[in-house]
Structure 1
Amino acid sequence: MINPLNVQLYTVRDHLSADRDGTLRRIAGIGYRAVEPFDPMNDPEGMRRLCDELGLAIPGTHAYALLGEETAPVFEAIATLGAELAIIPGGIPHEDFATPDGLARTSERLLALAEQGREYGVRIGYHNHWWEIEPVIDGRHALEHLDPGVFLEVDTYWAHVGGADVPALLRRLGDRVLALHVKDGPGVKDQPHTAVGSGALPVPEILSARPGALRIVELDSCDGDVFEALAASHAYLSALEVR
């Protein structure tokens, strides 16, 4: 594989809350070799220690808390995890993606975080939902207008829901995209996701459009047992890599 297959831990948030160690052991047992936390402030020392024991890398983490006033403790937690990528997964007003002025404010805010992150060896990225895709400004989706000084983690499912031709979007964005959230399902809002490869998205074409990006499986909600869906997703994506 080009990169180890990764799981966004929001997928198993309830299981983590009940039994973090057992949940991570199950993920490693399926064959995943990396995870993406969604809250770096939740015992970063313990998380890093356990992931090291299980052979799970932490290339990046979501870091909603960076939008708060005190960023230094968040960056310190990210550094403790060993993550080099910190992704803002929302928290910016939806309307700021609907106008050029709003996009300029958003870029300025993210670039300020990127400057802070350099002191910790951390790069700042942004993760989309549908509301950063639906507005089209000057012929491009709003997400495309963010300053290229901030990398992108493209959620391929929500980009599809927002109306993008996802492979074409990824080709346009090119190496600005360092990571992909790979998920599948009916391709509409408010319905549960399914194992990757069993839904409506053209997963092979999407992955081929940005082959060097991290591949992170995420199921916001799951139609069936989540660990079975993670195992089926791993098997499907691993088979694609073999071919």
Structure 2
Amino acid sequence: MIQNSRRIFLRNSAVLAAGAAFMPEHLFASAKKIERLGLQLYTVRDAMHADPAGTLKKLSDMGYFQVEHAGYSDRKFYGYSVKDFKKVLDDTHLNMTSGHVTLTQQHWNAASNDFTDEWKHAVADAAEVGQKYLISPGMDNDLLKDIDAFKKFMNVFNKCGELCHKQGLQFGYHNHDFEFATLFNGIPLYDVMLVNTDPDLVAQQMDIGNMYPTGAMPLDYIKKYPGRFELMHVKDQIKNADGKYENTVLGKGILPLKDILKEARKIGGTSQFIIEQEEYQGMDPLECSKLDLKVMNRWGY
């Protein structure tokens, strides 16, 4: 009886395995994206411009595996050609899974209903260097004054998402503070963006430090728009005596980071956690990067 049961089990397993070979791969893929922890290289911007290769080596030695660039222009990353910069990344055992390049109205040709060659090159270079995400960290100022023009450009965002998909990339947007301070009929520009972009085509990289001083609470947005924030810039803030905010080492500020990160993982759809620190209270940026990584590791990231 046991032998018969075993034969039936093996036979059924063989049938299932044979059938699986002809089934779409995505049916077996996890719905949860691979979780990554990295550093936005703007954190160490001066060091990156002075010695890109040496700085990346130091970050790798600290324990970083992922980085996000903020240094692409004229088809070069920090002065290197795409091919050469990819070699630098390989040599330092780093992956550059995302990067910032601003998509502007000048990159869209309304007459031909197509993107300019300059923008197409930016997309192609991002794919060649190994990125998974191409993030626009801003937009033209005149779009903040005209809701119709803004909504029209959100269609360009969606088209950019389609263009990026063809290259195996995901397009996304990174907020600063103006998206929450700018109101259209009493509604923050950021909400208008979320409503007028396709989540499959335009991912959101929530910068929790940039939004906090405006009174916009990261937890509120995560709960209001679950699943919309695939990427996150992880920052902490302190408030100075003059009332102005600035970044500080993670865990030393006033943001409820553990709660934000927990909800981002749980309902925000966040899988890409990217550390960024722009002010340092007299400390060395590289040392801050090392401390920030230790904090995130201690918290289970």
Q: Same fold (TM over 0.5)?
A: yes
Q: Secondary structure at the match of 2:232?
A: strand
Contact 2:233–2:276 (CA<8 Å) still a contact in 1? yes
TM alignment of 1:55-204, pairs within 5 A: 55-64=93-102, 68=107, 69=116, 70-93=118-141, 96-97=143-144, 100-136=147-183, 141-146=188-193, 147-148=197-198, 149-186=201-238, 191-204=245-258
- The whole-number CA distance in structure 2 between the counterparts of 1:135 and 1:150 is 20
Unaligned runs of 5+ residues in structure 2 are: 1-33, 108-115
Moved more, 123-132 or 212-221: 212-221
- Tell me the equivalent position of 1:48: 86
Cα gap change, 1:73 to 1:207, in 2 (>3 Å):
same
- The whole-number CA distance in structure 1 between the counterparts of 2:260 and 2:145 is 25
- The whole-number CA distance in structure 2 between the counterparts of 1:162 and 1:213 is 25
Identify, as 1 or 2, the structure richer in strand.
Answer: 2
Contact 1:39–1:64 (CA<8 Å) still a contact in 2? no
Which residue, out of 213, 232, 237, partners 2:291?
A: 232
TM-score by length of 2: 0.72
Q: C-alpha displacement at 1:54, in angstroms?
A: 2.4
Number of residue-to-residue matches in the alignment: 240
Q: Secondary structure at the match of 1:174?
A: coil
- The whole-number CA distance in structure 2 between the counterparts of 1:140 and 1:187 is 26
Contact 2:38–2:68 (CA<8 Å) still a contact in 1? yes
- Tell me the equivalent position of 1:4: 36
Q: CA RMSD in A?
A: 2.3
Q: C-alpha displacement at 1:142, in angstroms?
A: 2.2
- The whole-number CA distance in structure 2 between the counterparts of 1:28 and 1:39 is 18
- The whole-number CA distance in structure 1 between the counterparts of 2:253 and 2:96 is 27
- The whole-number CA distance in structure 2 between the counterparts of 1:51 and 1:4 is 16
TM-score by length of 1: 0.88
Contact 1:157–1:187 (CA<8 Å) still a contact in 2? no
Contact 1:157–1:183 (CA<8 Å) still a contact in 2? yes
Unaligned runs of 5+ residues in structure 1 are: none
- The whole-number CA distance in structure 1 between the counterparts of 2:131 and 2:158 is 19
Cα gap change, 1:158 to 1:187, in 2 (>3 Å):
farther
- Tell me the equivalent position of 2:272: 214
Q: C-alpha displacement at 1:98, in angstroms?
A: 5.9
Contact 2:164–2:171 (CA<8 Å) still a contact in 1? yes
- The whole-number CA distance in structure 2 between the counterparts of 1:171 and 1:96 is 27
- The whole-number CA distance in structure 2 between the counterparts of 1:140 and 1:28 is 42
> What amino acid does structure 1 have at the position aligned with 2:175?
N
Larger relative contact order, structure 1 or 2 (CA cutoff 8 Å, min sep 6):
1
- Tell me the equivalent position of 2:66: 34
